[in-house]
Amino acid sequence: MSKKLGVYVCEGCGIGTCMDTQKLVEIASSENEVSVVRTSPAFCLEDSKVIQEDIERDGVDGVVIAACSPRVNTDVFRSDSASVERVNIREQVAWCQPPNHEETQSLADDYLRVGIVRAQKTSPPSPYTDSHERRILVIGGGSAGLAAAASAGRAGFEVLLVEEREQLGGYAARLHLCYPQRPPYHELASIDIETSIQEAASLPNVRMLVGAEIVELSGQPGHYDVTIRTGAGDEQATVGAIVVATGWVPGDPARHEVYGLGVYPDVVTTMEVEEMAQQRAIRRPSDGGPVKRVAFVVCDTGADDTHLPYGGSVWSLVALKQALYVRDLCPDSIVYLFYGDMQTPGQHEYFYKRVQDDPQILFTCGEIRNVRKDDEGLIVFEADQTVVGGQMEIAVDLLVLSADMIPTTFDFPSPQLLNLQYQKGKELPTNKFGFADSNFICFPYETERTGIYAAGAVRQSMDLAASAQDGTGAALKAIQCIERSSEGEAVHPRVHDLSYPEFFMQKCTSCGRCSQECPFSALEVDDNNHPVLEPNRCRRCGICMGACPVQIISFNDYSVDMLSSMINAVEIPEDDEDKPRILIFACENDAYPALDMAGIARSQYPACVRVIPVRCLGSVNSVLVADAVSRGFDGVALLGCKAGEDYQCHFIHGSELLDARMDNVRETLGRLALESERVKFMEIEITDSHRIPGLLEEFVDTIKQVGPNPFKGF
């Protein structure tokens, strides 16, 4: 179907004084399918009505707005009846290039051509709207799970809560007191989990199953089939989204054998102290004798690998809390508190100060070693690297170590929390610490399984209060997921995206790479190893599109063909060494905004770059890089998020996969007898705008040294 495009060239915000907009009008007018071309001193003001009129009266169904960045004025230019393409000639041309320069003009010209091609190649998506289940499954009945159930229940959603134990409340029922959560943050408070249980139980739409476990879970956001096993037999249910709040388990004592745990009965963990405190009698486990001197070791100290490398503020605060238990229950006792980092964030600082005010609680950072039992039966150890100075020896009745908080998602002994019927695994993918993995900075509740949200200690070590807040947060994400999925929209980060990948199956070679590379297990494969899409699991990143070796995967508004045409729309000057052309694929999430911000800061960077935004670097098919090089681009830079262990990729593995695909690209370059320096992957964070000019100049210099692409003009 042929399109009717309107092209609108804005002259405001310094665009008009920086370039010849008339030239842009001429370019637009000469393009196919363009029916109207207009200019305005500011399309975002009164003249936005002109665009609206063109759409409504003249049937313009594709709008190309050459003005500011697509990241601003989205509300002004949104249209329900026409596709809108934004050509960024403000932040990425007028604000970062010298005015009225030949190269500036050709940059703007190229961007306009690229934008028009993009508009020509876009067709409206037809959303998938078959999932309407609105019930939320909460796994785990502790602090986080109860809060999630109550929050979702109050919001009017049906909730099914499944707790493995016979009793609700989780660890809250096994702790003596909690550290203060309200001003003045001085006194320990009792734990009232009963109210939370009652609150959730009193809601008519919340159903709670105890002594139950998930034996099978399949489907996708908006429609999961779950099989729950209880004492009374198996039960089937359908749910729309899932909150995993299964918490933590204590670690293996053998890990702390070097500190005498498991060797001497008087070396215990904080969990044992909670038990003793609940019975209001802290005594020596070895002989039941009174406790006069206690040492707490916040187990983030020490260079040895017996410590888990995390624990956050919980370990510090629990040690502070239990120091007060000892001072309260053991008259005239002395408490030594050793730490690596005392972490008492926010208002907890007041609590730290309050514990410090007790003259018989002594703090120091430091390492302890050589734990042994002396003749009198006391636990004796050496402390080094303390702030007191020198080496000291301390004798105590009780040595308390932080209990490891091992997230239940960690694969030991072997979690059976979800039993997902996904080809990519039965449980949630975890990071190296065993926590449910996600882009921790941007989407903390997310897991790598769309529609399944982590809350509480499966996400990071946290206390009861934080877990309860977390439960509410995850419940809200579950609600959002249900609402968006029912409309056929992506959940995040591409909220409102209605497109999803489509497959030209006749050409599928059954390689299965799309399914393997999809970070979210949205692509299952059938018996013929052909991809089968679970649309609501899809986050529309396009990694499958970038992976497919035969390029049969595309979205209605995003495809290899479209990107290839956009690359082809750039004019490559021939036989001019001073006018190299560098193609940049920039990740829309971080790199593209960083480029915008460089413009906002009025940083100047080379005019020979041509930026094409992509959903994720993972969606860049290696054929596109080869295309660009054979078209005559002198270099290709790929600007994306940090890859690897501390990744910041919004789609988990996108930039990592791109990095791997570079090998293919280098092979291609070699086949064309080209230098491998012509293609470069650069990690850019959203805060890196100040680095952009330097990085680009450096790359342009490299390319100039390598020399012009010999394929120019072919």
Partner 1 sequence: MPETSVIKPDFEFKSQILGRGAHDLTSCYQCGTCSIVCPISNPENPFPRKEMVWVQWGLTDLAMSNSSIWACHDCAICTAYCPREAQPALVMAALREYSIEHYAVPRVMGRMLGEAKFLPILFAIPALIFGAVLAGIGNLTALPDGPVVFSKFMPIVFVEVIFMAAIGLSMTGAVAGGMRYWRAMNLRMVGNRGPVRLLPTLWTILRHRKFRRCADDLPGTRESPRTPFARTHLLAFYGFLGLVVTTTSVGIGIYAFGYLTPWPIWHPVKILGNLSGVAVIIALLIFGYRRITAKTKAGESTYSDWLFLDILLLTTLTGFLAQGLRLVGVGGAIAYPTYFVHLMFVFFLLVYIPYSKFAHIVYRTVAMLYDAATENRESVPPPAQAA
Binding site for partner 1 (CB under 8 A): 334, 342, 352-353, 356-360, 362-365, 382, 387-395
Is the CB of 275 or the CB of 374 nearer to partner 1?
374
DSSP character string of 576-602: -TT---EEEEEETTTHHHHHHHHHHTT
Cβ neighbours of 357 (radius 10 Å): 9
Is the CB of 33 or the CB of 384 nearer to partner 1?
384
d(CA 86, CA 192) in angstroms, rounded, equals 54
CB of 267: closest distance to partner 1 in angstroms?
19
CB of 189: closest distance to partner 1 in angstroms?
22
Phi, psi of 543 (to 5 degrees): -60, -35
CB of 360: closest distance to partner 1 in angstroms?
6
Is the CB of 395 or the CB of 505 nearer to partner 1?
395
Give the CA distances from residue 391 to residues 166, 197, 367, 368, 376, in Å, rounded to whole numbers and listed in that order: 49, 50, 10, 10, 22
State the virtual CA torsion across 440, 443, 447, 452 in degrees, nearest 10. 150
CB of 352: closest distance to partner 1 in angstroms?
8
Bond prior to 708 in cis (omega within 30° of 0): no
Is the CB of 395 or the CB of 441 nearer to partner 1?
395
CB of 365: closest distance to partner 1 in angstroms?
7
- The helix (H) or strand (E) run that includes residue 99 is none
CB 319 within 8 A of CB 299: no
Is the CB of 204 or the CB of 390 nearer to partner 1?
390
CB of 336: closest distance to partner 1 in angstroms?
8
d(CA 607, CA 101) in angstroms, rounded, equals 10
CB of 379: closest distance to partner 1 in angstroms?
14
Which residues does 125 contact at the CB level (< 8 Å), separation at least 6? 498, 499, 500, 555, 556, 557
> 3-class SS at 159?
strand
- The helix (H) or strand (E) run that includes residue 130 is none
User: 303-316 as b/e, with b when 16 or more CB fall inside 10 Å?
Assistant: eeeebbebbbbbbb
Cβ neighbours of 203 (radius 10 Å): 17
Reading the block at residue 406, the tokens are 């091992």
Phi, psi of 156 (to 5 degrees): 95, 10
CB of 325: closest distance to partner 1 in angstroms?
19
Is the CB of 356 or the CB of 516 nearer to partner 1?
356
Give the CA distances from residue 570 to residues 107, 108, 476, 714, in Å, rounded to whole numbers and listed in that order: 9, 10, 44, 15
CB of 399: closest distance to partner 1 in angstroms?
15
Is the CB of 360 or the CB of 687 nearer to partner 1?
360
CB of 342: closest distance to partner 1 in angstroms?
7
The 8-class DSSP code of residue 191 comes to -
Positive or negative: CA dihedral 468, 473, 476, 481 = negative
Is the CB of 394 or the CB of 584 nearer to partner 1?
394
CB 507 within 8 A of CB 560: no
Which residues does 74 contact at the CB level (< 8 Å), separation at least 6? none
Residue with the two structure tokens 């040294």: 705
Is the CB of 280 or the CB of 353 nearer to partner 1?
353
Cβ neighbours of 683 (radius 10 Å): 22
- 184, 244, 164, 172: which is closest to 465 by C-alpha? 172
Is the CB of 75 or the CB of 357 nearer to partner 1?
357
Reading the block at residue 77, the tokens are 């230019």
Is the CB of 126 or the CB of 391 nearer to partner 1?
391
CB of 338: closest distance to partner 1 in angstroms?
12
d(CA 267, CA 290) in angstroms, rounded, equals 15
Reading the block at residue 592, the tokens are 């593209």
Side-by-side strand order, sheet with 213-220 = 213-220, 223-230, 233-239
CB of 698: closest distance to partner 1 in angstroms?
38
CB of 343: closest distance to partner 1 in angstroms?
12
CB of 362: closest distance to partner 1 in angstroms?
5
Q: How far is CA 387 from the centre of its chain?
A: 39
Is the CB of 81 or the CB of 391 nearer to partner 1?
391
Is the CB of 159 or the CB of 394 nearer to partner 1?
394
Is the CB of 374 or the CB of 663 nearer to partner 1?
374
Long-range contacts of 703-710 (CB under 8 A, 24+ apart): 703/580, 703/582, 703/634, 703/635, 703/677, 703/678, 704/577, 704/580, 706/634, 706/635, 706/675, 706/677, 706/678, 708/577, 708/580, 708/634, 709/629, 709/632, 709/633, 709/634, 709/674, 709/678, 710/674
Is the CB of 389 or the CB of 413 nearer to partner 1?
389
Is the CB of 353 or the CB of 690 nearer to partner 1?
353
CB of 383: closest distance to partner 1 in angstroms?
8
CB of 366: closest distance to partner 1 in angstroms?
11
Reading the block at residue 177, the tokens are 């007191």
> 3-class SS at 393?
strand
